[in-house]
Amino acid sequence: MLCRHCQKVKSNRPRGLCWSCYYRPGVRDQYPSTSKYARRGVGDFHGRTKLAAEPTTARPGTEAKIAVLAERARLGLSLWHPLDAA
């Protein structure tokens, strides 16, 4: 398999890159890991989180509420606001 970036040399590093491309600044960040053990999705975090700026009027279980929760998780905010719709 050729390098995913330069398409010239056989890939011999993770992410399908050759040695030169893998260690060139900025190139590695352009290609996601191809490992089945790589972390994907929103990272799990522990500790204190900031409260979301404003509550949502979306009802629990709706697509809108799920989208709001996903956005809050992506931003590292608390998933639940005390004034969210019940």
Q: In this predicted model, what pLDDT tens digit does every residue of 15-52 receive, in sequence order?
A: 899 999 999 999 988 988 878 787 766 666 677 788 99
For the question of whether the overall pTM of this predicted structure is more than 0.75, the answer is no
**Could you give the angle at the alpha carbon of 46 between the alpha carbons of 43 and 39, nearest 5°?**
20
Nearest to residue 29, comparing CAs of 14, 44, 43?
14
Region at 20 (left for phi over 0; alpha for psi -120 to 50; beta for the rest) = alpha
Q: In this predicted model, what pLDDT tens digit does every residue of 5-19 receive, in sequence order?
A: 999 999 999 889 999
Distance separating alpha carbons of residues 5 and 10, to the nearest angstrom: 11
Distance separating alpha carbons of residues 32 and 14, to the nearest angstrom: 10
Q: In this predicted model, what pLDDT tens digit does every residue of 47-56 receive, in sequence order?
A: 778 899 999 9
